[in-house]
Amino acid sequence: MIPADIEENLYYIELFTKKQIRNPLVGNHVSLLKGHGYDFWDHKKYQHGDDTRKIDWNATARMGYTLIKNTHEEKDIDIFVAADLSNSMNFVTGVHSKRELLLYITAVLAYSALSDHMRIGFLGFTDEVVIEIPPKKGRAHLWTMLNQVWDFKPPRHKETLVLPALGKLRQRLSRMSIVFLISDFFLK
């Protein structure tokens, strides 16, 4: 269970993040470039009235007739936080431990994703993957994730190995995702 003082800070992070997202200077993430997307889907023959900016000149030169590039947008993006949960993250200097800072950073990323209607997942690792939370939307999912991160206690001998976590992520990611890797990179 997250201590009351840390939970209060998480509520402040939530309020601050919502305020920054609603700021009129931030914008609504609309690209200046017109079009449907950059991800190539397939070609089709040019027909009168098609947008000439979509002509694929390389394919046209190879085939001998004019081809149009069809693209699609990737609208749903997942956010994954891959975090080091080894014993080195329990180190305390000054006011906060590395573990508290990890929780705060995860909360900022999660609240930002939540406000943009993105799904957020979590992968905690030591020398192996120890926590794997699939991406979902919603505030309840976010708090469940934060509680699991806080409640995890690594055994004494666990060290940090990043490669097994990255391998697991590579297997799990099936759609466009943004991955945040959080660690002190204190490797033994």
Class for domain 4-23+75-182, per CATH?
alpha beta
Cβ(173)–Cβ(80) below 8 Å: yes
Give the pLDDT confidence of 53-85 residue by residue, as tens digits: 889 999 999 999 999 988 766 567 889 999 999
- pTM for this structure? 0.68
| CA 47, chain centre distance (Å) | 40
CB atoms within 10 A of CB 150: 19
Give the pLDDT confidence of 85-128 residue by residue, as tens digits: 988 888 887 788 888 999 999 999 998 888 878 899 999 998 88
Cβ(5)–Cβ(98) below 8 Å: no
- Provide the residue ranges of all domains of the chain, joining segments of one domain with +: 4-23+75-182, 39-72
134-153: average pLDDT: 91
Cβ(109)–Cβ(13) below 8 Å: no
